[in-house]
Amino acid sequence: MDLSFNAEERAFQDEVRGFIAKNLTEEMKRATALTPSVFSDPDIGMAWQRTLHSRGWGAPGWPIEHGGPDWTPAQRWIFETESARAGVPNVNVMGVKMVGPVIIGFGSAEQKNFYLPRILSGEDYWCQGYSEPGSGSDLSSLKTRAVRDGDDYIINGTKIWTTHAHHANRMFALVRTSDGPRQQDGISFILIDMKTPGITTRPILTIGGDHEVNQVFFDDVRVPVANRVGEEGKGWTYGKYLLEFERGSGIASAKLREGLKAIAELAESDLTGRAIDSPDIATRISEVEVDIDALEMTELRVLSALQTGQNPGAVSSILKLRNSEIRQAVTRLGADVIGHDALAVEPMRPLYRLNHEPPMPEEMLTVVPEYLNGRAYTIFGGTSEIQRDIIAKMMLGI
């Protein structure tokens, strides 16, 4: 057993560091640091996607024949870790990490040829149509319906919590094409052009003051049957496959560590009157750091298992659960560390393009919005309660 990387991996680490140092602009870095929502705005995120794509690193998890870099799990770990350390923007996760793997796994040759290059290049920006107002945790009760009409489906219904629907030109959605004996039956996985007539998008502001999510309405939206991925009625299987990717991409600790580092730096700064000199704050920083250490170690254990072709199983639910809980602990700590400045609200967005003096030092601008928006971490991608159900069922067999 060995925690250190071998010479080849260290050389790769240098290569990644060098690439990021050379290509990550100050503007991208500042914009990322001053984004209090989960995702970077597309002007920032897609610029980085194009940069990565130019190097052949546009889709780290994809197989080589579809433009992936053919990295080992350790290389992916190094890439994600170095990216987090450097503070690179979030790229379009819904494209690269969610719909991409589904198209690769279940899409037709035409779909692969058309969509995958556009995800890699950043030409397409994807959003995810899963939740509905009446279908949250009980996702498979979804009611948005696609009725066959010749070579088209006609879609009616609504999707909610749709991240960046207002930016996206494409959506992948779970829709009901029939009613089976189980509610999971009769769901299909459809790719939708957001410019299709009949689609309207309503913004939803989150409690941190950000416009990140939306409700999307479908009124007689005509989508070609050719846009269905895989078999009709088998969408639930594909959708669950995607959720496993969403939860188990499995490299979250480096980002958490950077988040904690920013808070610890504030705590050691005169801006907070050296909050760290309070033993309570110092101990809480350690508690969170140790939690991150444990998560990182679990990620590395999973990575080691993957390297030898083992299946990590339900551990992706443990990773999702702990990542979201620790993320919230980091942001809660941040809100406590900045003291009186936690009372001030800066309502303008984006925070990296303010045209006035904000009511607090720039380093603190995202702290409270991140805490508030961060309550969503234990809700999206399957709530913590759903993760515990999965752990009980898959790991404990009850």
Does residue 286 interact with another protein by CB under 8 A?
yes
For residue 228, list its beta bridge partners.
190
Does residue 138 interact with another protein by CB under 8 A?
no
Does residue 8 interact with another protein by CB under 8 A?
no
Is 80 known to be catalytic? no
Distances (CA, A) of 349 to 31, 201, 212, 365: 11, 19, 11, 11
| Contact (CB, 8 A) for 135 and 117 | no
Q: If DSSP codes are grouped into helix, strand and coil, which group holds residue 166? A: coil
Per-position b or e across 258-290, b if 16+ CB within 10 A of its CB: bbbebbbebbbbebbeebbeeeebeebbeebbe
Q: Given the complex with another protein, which of 225 and 282 has the nearer CB atom? A: 282
How many chain residues are in contact with another protein, going by CB under 8 A? 48
Helix axes 73-86, 7-23, angle to 10 degrees: 40
Does residue 137 interact with another protein by CB under 8 A?
no
Does residue 21 interact with another protein by CB under 8 A?
no
Does residue 391 interact with another protein by CB under 8 A?
yes
Closest approach of Cβ 50 to another protein, in Å? 30
Closest-CA residue to 158 (of 114, 208, 202): 202
Q: Between 29 and 68, how does the x/- string for binding to another protein read (CB under 8 A)?
A: ----------------------------------------
> Binding segment for another protein among 104-112, 126-134, 186-194, 300-308 (CB under 8 A)?
300-308
Pairing of strands 199-205, 211-224: antiparallel
Closest approach of Cβ 85 to another protein, in Å? 16
Closest approach of Cβ 360 to another protein, in Å? 22
Q: Between 242 and 271, how does the x/- string for binding to another protein read (CB under 8 A)?
A: ----------------------x---x---
Does residue 74 interact with another protein by CB under 8 A?
yes
| Contact (CB, 8 A) for 273 and 339 | yes
Closest approach of Cβ 319 to another protein, in Å? 10
Q: If DSSP codes are grouped into helix, strand and coil, which group holds residue 250? A: coil
Phi, psi of 64 (to 5 degrees): -60, -35
Does residue 1 interact with another protein by CB under 8 A?
yes
Q: Which of 80, 132, 212, 246 is catalytic?
A: 246
Of the candidates 2, 26, 110, 357, which one interacts with another protein according to CB under 8 A?
2
| DSSP structure string for 197-222 | TTEEEEEEE-TTS-EEEEEEEEEEEE
Of the candidates 283, 343, 345, 361, which one interacts with another protein according to CB under 8 A?
283
Closest-CA residue to 280 (of 339, 360, 234): 339
Of the candidates 21, 64, 226, 297, which one interacts with another protein according to CB under 8 A?
297
Closest approach of Cβ 327 to another protein, in Å? 16
The CA R_g of the chain, rounded to the nearest whole Å, is: 21
| Contact (CB, 8 A) for 88 and 38 | no
Cis ω on the peptide bond leading into residue 60 (within 30° of 0)?
A: no
Question: What tokens were used for 337?
Answer: 């560390």
Of the candidates 11, 133, 307, 359, which one interacts with another protein according to CB under 8 A?
307
Q: Given the complex with another protein, which of 305 and 372 has the nearer CB atom? A: 305
What's 234's DSSP letter? B
Does residue 379 interact with another protein by CB under 8 A?
no
Does residue 71 interact with another protein by CB under 8 A?
no
| Contact (CB, 8 A) for 216 and 133 | no
**What residues are annotated to the active site?**
246
**Contacts to another protein by CB under 8 A:** 1-6, 9, 74, 77, 264, 268, 274, 276-277, 279, 282-283, 285-287, 289-291, 293-295, 297-298, 300-301, 303-305, 307-308, 315, 318, 321-322, 385, 387-389, 391-392, 395-396, 398
